Amino acid sequence: MSNATPPPSREPSDGESEDRAGQILEQTNEQKEPGSTDVVSDPIAADEQEQLSAQGDRPKPKSGRSRRSTRIKKNNRLADWLERRFCVPEFAGGMLLCLAAFFFAAATNTLAGWLYVISGVSFALLLIGAVMPAKIIKEIEVVRSPLEPASAGDMATIELKFANLSKAKKELLRLRDLMPPGLADRECQETIIELLPPGKLTDRFQHHAFTWSYSFIARRRGIYTLSEVQIVTASPLGLFRSRRSHFAKQRLVVYPTVLPLKQCPIVDQLGTDDSPRQYNQEFNYKNATEGITRALRPYRWGDPIRLVHWRTSARFGDLRIRELEVTLGGQDLAIALDLEPGWQEWEFERAVVAAASLFFYAQGMGLKPQLWTATDGLITQVRAVLETLAQVQVLTPDPSDTKNTTPELATRPDLPLVWLSHRAASLADLPAGSRWLLWQNDESAVSKISNPGNHPGLAIATISGSPDQSFRALQTQLQAPLKHATAAI
């Protein structure tokens, strides 16, 4: 009796495994009683289910489009690195490189001398075209002139001077002045130098230097540093392109917009709580009959008779008019800007614009305005005020501050304030004679504010939408009477 060997076992394919697992699951679902758990008694089926679930849990491979975009980004980074360090071929340079390689391969196969000459000349041109651009743009001096401050929304002017330090002229240079983020609409400004003759900026050949001046609209307030200037060229053959960076650092200060206010009740009515005539502009010079006499002058047609100095007039035989010392305002006023977190980005920009506008309006009315912030304290000088408003930002919350303290309430100066804030709770402890501007997101919250702390003010309800770059709505609101404190813009 011969022993028959069993046939070799065949492993099931993927399709058979899936069908097998599906049949076993259907059988178990039919035999399963209500309330029982799903348990597969067949160990082979259990292994097949584990394999299928493992295949389903594997991360899906990236699609062809994502792989292609990743590859393009890597190629762009490599080309940028080569252009900054060495050079990258232009289209003509790439075609000449392919032709030179083709002629050299044909010459090695056919041993034709003229093919060796063509390939050798081509490689020589490629070598010259690759070495010369980097050498040309290294011997250039770049100087940036000092920058005048500008206001947001106005034109800012940049001036650069380029000098050729070598003894040979340079041709066809592309200049790129990189802009800091948020300063202008474009990331860089570009121009072309067709010819740059030799000459330094400090010698008698200074007139040979190339001066590049351009203007742009400053988009947003801030203190920006302009430094990097890129010079790009493919000269002299146009086969390879090289780029180098030259650094000419200067600071550009962009002030916030100052609105031309014809009237501002928040400032005009300061001091009317205690003395209605204390800061009334109509009750100073025209109605004055006595005061400190600054000088005497001859009478002119239209001068009031009440200002005639009769004793001196009798001595000289003609009318003499007294010129009085004109005292306008003189009240100390602090415009305080709340920097506590919670501001919306655009609403904080509007608050900064309002602070700058109120400062210059109060200065024009003869008051002594000052700016106060939690980070810089009281500032009086006009230039310092503008630079502070140009760079002021909302305070970032401190995670270690568990008590949620508000340093503004403790460090605000004891002066009449114009308090610009977004927190209604901060209006209760203002000094006497203060005013306030309050930004609120909800109109119902604004309507509930009624003279907090017995200080009149103006509540501004913000409305979502595209920001008003011209600040016309804010200008209208600042000139509105205080009785319209709950009007929304």
pLDDT of 79 reads 84
pLDDT of 38 reads 42
For residue range 85-136, list pLDDT tens digits in order.
Answer: 888 889 999 899 999 999 999 998 988 889 999 999 999 999 999 999 988 8
pLDDT of 403 reads 56
CATH class of 140-255: mainly beta
pLDDT of 64 reads 63
Q: Candidates 1.10.287, 3.30.70, 3.40.50, 3.10.450; correct CATH number of 332-395+406-484?
A: 3.40.50
For residue range 400-437, list pLDDT tens digits in order.
Answer: 655 555 545 447 777 888 899 888 888 877 887 888 88
pLDDT of 68 reads 72
Low pLDDT (below 70) residues in the chain: 1-65, 201-207, 271-294, 324-331, 398-410, 441-454, 461-470, 482-489
Domain boundaries defined on the chain: 67-136, 140-255, 285-326, 332-395+406-484
In angstroms, the CA 191 to CA 106 distance is 43
For residue range 164-177, list pLDDT tens digits in order.
Answer: 888 888 889 999 99
Residues 6+ apart with CB under 8 A from 142: 160, 161, 162, 229, 231, 246, 247, 248
For residue range 365-391, list pLDDT tens digits in order.
Answer: 888 889 999 888 889 899 999 999 999
Pairing of strands 417-421, 332-337: parallel
pLDDT of 117 reads 93
pLDDT of 333 reads 84
